[in-house]
Amino acid sequence: MQMADRLLKTPPYPFAELARLKREAIANGVDLINFGIGDPDTPTPDFVVQAMQRAVENPAYHQYDETDIGLPMMLEAIAAWYAKRFGVPLDPKTEILRLIGSKEGIAHLAWAVLNPGDLVLVPDPGYPVYKVSTLFADAESYAMPLRPARGFVPDLAAIPSDVADRAKLMWLCYPNNPTGATVDLDFLAEAVAFAQKHDILIGMDLAYSEIYYEDDCVPPSMLQVPGAKEVCIEFHSFSKPFNMTGWRIGWACGNPDALAALNKLKSNLDSGAFLAIQEAATVALTTDTTAYFRDLRARYRRRRDLLVDGLNAAGWQVEKPKGAFYVWAPTPNGMSAADCAMKLLQDCGILATPGSAYGAHGEGFVRFALTLPATDVEARIAEAAARIQATF
Ligand code: MLT
């Protein structure tokens, strides 16, 4: 059988590779501590599960999702949540589109808005899907380095003007996967002005919007910037805030033309999203979640502090991330990312992602996801720190 050239050029999805390493280690009897994929270990909250149990009994939901852009009740709930959370009004008829998880929308945007040979500005390190979807659309990526000295924020002024003029799409993600960096509205305003000047669509990935650790860095939406709806499509997920990774539901919002293009593509590819899930997602957004999010953030903050303090006690030099649930750790003693990840796996029974899986500028880092499956996660993190302290 022939495999398409585009797939031959595509590296394996890093988390499929990690899943394989995980299976192998467990089969070999390793007591594995798994900091691999960012997949919340705590269950979906009861109020969402119960809503789903009720919704799934509705026979009208057993058929195709024949709505145009999503279940109206969910679109209304998204608009109301968005207005409350970000102070931005969204028209539920034209400015929102349901997705089968934000990864699906992010991946498909390339086919909806790019022509072969177009240029895409991609953060490096960055979520691998930005670059791979660019490749699938026969377009080219231009790496925007995210450097520690700049707080893992790209230097837009350093992008050559011919590159900026050629670019059609730019990806950004804050709170950031994989670095945990956050940005303020000033940077988002700079990005919008840059996009307006060079006629670029911004794909803003806000999957981690509710996971942050300081009250003075509550993640903003890019759509808070005046004029942003002209240049921005923003991607949101239920997976990370509501522990719903397996459910596959998210949304895009912002520029109506970009949303319409994405919807045209999607309507030829998929058949919407299970309507019962859209009703349960509605309940997620319309329930009072103040206490739920306070607990969620406190839980990840305790894990973050345990791991970072433990790594630093082993002589690593790691800063505490301000958002998302990843610790982006410089490798000790100048080790390569791959060597460090391999040593963690082979000598400590710890699975972490080599930073190089996120791009060339991820070299010299490993990423620990704070979502490890265990009955007592904090005890497992303490155990991981002890193993690292004994080994490195
Ligand atoms: C990650 O670990 O980077 C994410 O969980 C992957 C994803 O969201 O697809």
Give every CB contact of residue 104 below 8 A, 6+ residues apart in sequence.
248, 250, 270
- Distance (Å, rounded) from C-alpha 108 to C-alpha 129? 10
For residue 32, how far is the Cα from the chain centroid?
Answer: 24
pLDDT at 301 over 90: yes
The ligand 1 atom nearest the CA atom of 102: 8
- Expressed in angstroms and rounded, the spacing between residue 262 Cα and the centre of ligand 1 is 22
- Expressed in angstroms and rounded, the spacing between residue 240 Cα and the centre of ligand 1 is 9
pLDDT at 119 over 90: yes
The ligand 1 atom nearest the CA atom of 353: 2
Is any ligand 1 atom within 6 A of the Cβ of residue 103? yes
pLDDT at 39 over 90: yes
- Expressed in angstroms and rounded, the spacing between residue 161 Cα and the centre of ligand 1 is 32
Q: Does 3.90.1150.10 match the CATH number of domain 46-286?
A: no
Q: What is the Rg, in whole angstroms, of the alpha carbon atoms belonging to the chain?
A: 21
Indicate the SS3 state at residue 243.
Answer: coil
For residue 149, how far is the Cα from the chain centroid?
Answer: 22
Per-residue pLDDT, averaged over 21-44, amounts to 93
pLDDT confidence band for 109 (50 / 70 / 90): very high
- Expressed in angstroms and rounded, the spacing between residue 37 Cα and the centre of ligand 1 is 6
What sign does the CA torsion over 335, 336, 341, 342 have?
A: negative
Angle separating helix axes 128-136 and 102-113, nearest 10 degrees: 30
Q: Are 308 and 314 in contact (CB under 8 A)?
A: no
- Expressed in angstroms and rounded, the spacing between residue 107 Cα and the centre of ligand 1 is 13
pLDDT confidence band for 105 (50 / 70 / 90): very high
**Given the structure tokens 């670019």, which residue do they identify?**
167
- Distance (Å, rounded) from C-alpha 132 to C-alpha 141? 9
Q: What are phi and psi of 264, to 5 degrees?
A: -60, -45
Is any ligand 1 atom within 6 A of the Cβ of residue 240? no
The ligand 1 atom nearest the CA atom of 103: 9
**33-34 and 250-254 strand pairing:** unpaired
**CATH class, range 5-44+290-391:** alpha beta
**Given the structure tokens 């500005």, which residue do they identify?**
121
Percent of residues, the chain, with pLDDT higher than 70: 100
**Given the structure tokens 């620990």, which residue do they identify?**
368
Is any ligand 1 atom within 6 A of the Cβ of residue 38? yes
Is any ligand 1 atom within 6 A of the Cβ of residue 177? yes
The ligand 1 atom nearest the CA atom of 369: 2
Q: Is the pTM of this model over 0.85?
A: yes
pLDDT at 72 over 90: yes
- Return the residue whose CA atom lies nearest to atom 9 of ligand 1: 103
* Exposed e or buried b per residue across 42-77, where buried means at least 16 C-beta atoms within 10 angstroms of its C-beta: eebbebbeebbeebbeeeebeeebeeebbbebbbbb
Boundaries of every domain in the chain: 5-44+290-391, 46-286
pLDDT attached to residue 381? 98
- Distance (Å, rounded) from C-alpha 250 to C-alpha 239? 8
Indicate the SS3 state at residue 175.
Answer: coil
pLDDT attached to residue 169? 98
Supply the mean pLDDT for the chain: 96
